[in-house]
Amino acid sequence: MTDLNILGISGSLRAGSFNTALLRNAQKHAPAGMTVSRYEGLADLPHYNQDLDNEESRPESVTRLRQAVADADGLLIASPEYNYSIPGGLKDLLDWASRPAADSVLRHKHVAVMSSSPGAFGGVRGLLSLRQMLLATHSHVVAKPEVMVFGVAQRFDDGGNVTDEMTINLLRELLSALHDQIRG
Ligand SMILES: Cc1cc2nc3c(=O)[nH]c(=O)nc-3n(C[C@H](O)[C@H](O)[C@H](O)COP(=O)(O)O)c2cc1C
């Protein structure tokens, strides 16, 4: 059986992003039978504009995004919380991927989500907001474990490797749950 192909999406554009670093660690700790790649086109996506969402005007970056999501067996989204919600760039990504509504690449897609923050709440309000959006897109979101990494700045070594066992175990458990959900 071929490996499940999971597309990792970070909600942060920051070069030193903790969420992107968590995704890199998820690639390292993925269970057998699963390969995690990373979507790197977030900065190229324009704001969602329905006037551009047609065959003649659709930006190349949107076509590439939709193809990458369509090709993946599942998604792993890691996002910061911005002002109690998700960053605008990730919202635009989800809006582009969510159309056409009846037949979008997010429909019935299996999605694992996690958040992190240097603060004490781990971005949980942003994570709940992300889960809410994925209800609208008819995606199949992994229910448990709920992964919100608080105090994230303290959990890496200088090489960007997660050092604490609890976070590594949560990454493994989340990906295993995604694996099992996809394989049914
Ligand atoms: C515009 C903005 C809004 C933010 N709002 C929140 C917030 O509501 N809750 C929170 O825990 N952190 C908030 N932060 C701090 C982020 O959690 C922190 O910058 C984090 O490192 C961003 O994730 P990243 O490291 O993946 O880029 C905010 C940061 C920015 C720039």
Tokens of 122: 């781990």
Tell me the CA distances in angstroms from 13 to 39, 47, 56, 74, 117, one per residue in order.
12, 15, 28, 21, 15
CA of 15 to the centre of ligand 1 (A): 14
pLDDT for res 173 = 98
Would you say 35 and 5 are in contact if contact means Cβ atoms under 8 Å apart?
yes
**Domain ranges in the chain?**
4-183
Whether 118 lines ligand 1, by a CB cut-off of 6 Å, is: yes
pLDDT tens column, 87-110:
999 999 999 999 999 999 999 999
Asked whether 33 lines ligand 1 (CB < 6 A), one says no
The pick from 83, 90, 114, 155 for probing ligand 1's pocket by mutation, whose C-beta has the most ligand atoms within 8 angstroms, reads 83
Give the pLDDT of residue 1. Answer: 87
- Where are any strands of DSSP class E within 52-141? 74-79, 110-116, 140-141
8 ligand 1 Cβ < 6 A? no
Give, in words, the CATH class of 4-183: alpha beta
For atom 31 of ligand 1, which residue has the closest CA?
Answer: 82
**Residues in the chain, pLDDT under 70:** none
Ligand 1 atom at shortest distance from the alpha carbon of 19: 26
What pLDDT score does 155 carry? 98
Q: Calculate how far, in angstroms, residue 81's C-alpha sits from the geometric centre of ligand 1.
A: 5
pLDDT of residue 83: 98
